[in-house]
């Protein structure tokens, strides 16, 4: 298993001129090393990968690998709706020192069932490191059926799934058929403990950008058998988690980091800064947690 616990879907900070803030990224990565984050997921949805060109993706990933220096796993997002382009990017990135790749379901053009299988299979064959599937139908409008995940799990280097369905019945169905060593990670911060209780192995988290230690502790408490503490942490973090999704991710989480004095940075279009109401809500919840 690549990791158990809290993997952060880390933001990509941008400077005012729109360039990647590599010093800011290093600051964020060190923040996670200091606060018990169990894995870094770079160039994902929260990292605004859809607006990074390939040269930027490669340089961001290289920077992450350099700073983390093998201390915890680094997982890079390489999936798009272009299978051959994703396969080529995955081939290149898998040789940069990452521990695994996160590959999203194709979006917009979508796929029929066999096309979906061949999409993931083609990318897996191009990669020399393990693959985590990313099922996020709220973004892609294309769910990955349980029987498809089971079929894909038989490909040697497909080793896990980020389940961002928010549907615990789906998670239970996955747990009931998948091999025990096939990892299931929550893609929804508001149901981490419930997902762990039905066989999950951790979370790939947005809110861990803001609360890395607490998110790690929540998972670890559950693994240690202290379900009550895990539950209490889930409930304690719930108001902040909710506020991080009142506008499309990663708009609120970057605002939260900026309010904390961390390098959340600016956004790339089509994303834009949040409304004042969102800023005020985030401010209240950060103060309630003692983050500012």
Task: Give the residue numbers annotated as catalytic, written as ranges.
Answer: 134, 162
Two tokens at 96? Answer: 């940069």
The Cα 282–Cα 244 span in angstroms is 7
The Cα 99–Cα 191 span in angstroms is 26
Q: Pick from 248, 291, 280, 243: which is nearest to 267 by CA?
A: 248
The Cα 50–Cα 171 span in angstroms is 27
The Cα 25–Cα 14 span in angstroms is 9
Q: Pick from 190, 85, 84, 63: which is nearest to 76 by CA?
A: 63
């Amino acid at each position: 298993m690549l990791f158990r616990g809290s993997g952060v879907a880390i933001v990509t900070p941008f400077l005012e001129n729109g360039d990647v803030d590599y010093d800011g990224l290093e600051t964020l990565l060190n923040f996670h090393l200091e606060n018990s984050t169990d894995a870094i997921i770079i160039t994902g949805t929260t990292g605004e990968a859809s607006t990074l060109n390939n040269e930027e993706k490669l340089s961001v990933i290289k920077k992450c690998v350099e700073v983390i220096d093998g201390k915890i796993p680094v997982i890079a997002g390489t999936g798009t709706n272009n299978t051959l382009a994703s396969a080529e990017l995955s081939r290149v990135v898998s040789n940069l020192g990452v521990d695994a790749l996160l590959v999203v379901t194709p979006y917009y053009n979508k796929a029929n069932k066999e096309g979906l299988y061949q999409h993931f299979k083609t990318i897996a064959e191009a990669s020399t490191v393990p693959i985590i599937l990313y099922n996020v139908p709220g973004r892609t409008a294309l769910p990955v059926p349980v029987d498809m995940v089971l079929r894909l799990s038989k490909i040697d280097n497909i080793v896990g799934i980020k389940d961002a369905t928010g549907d615990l019945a789906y998670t239970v169905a996955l747990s009931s058929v998948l091999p025990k060593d096939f990892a299931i990670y929550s893609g929804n911060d508001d149901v981490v403990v419930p997902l762990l209780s039905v066989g999950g192995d951790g979370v790939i988290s947005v809110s861990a950008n803001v609360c890395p230690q607490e998110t790690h502790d929540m998972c670890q408490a559950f693994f240690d058998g202290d379900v009550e503490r895990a539950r209490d942490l889930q409930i304690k973090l719930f108001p902040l988690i909710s506020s991080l999704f009142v506008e499309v991710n990663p708009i609120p989480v970057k605002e939260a980091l900026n309010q904390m004095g961390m390098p959340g940075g600016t956004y790339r279009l089509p994303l834009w800064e949040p409304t004042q109401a969102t800023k005020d809500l985030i401010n209240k919840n950060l103060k309630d947690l003692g983050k500012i």
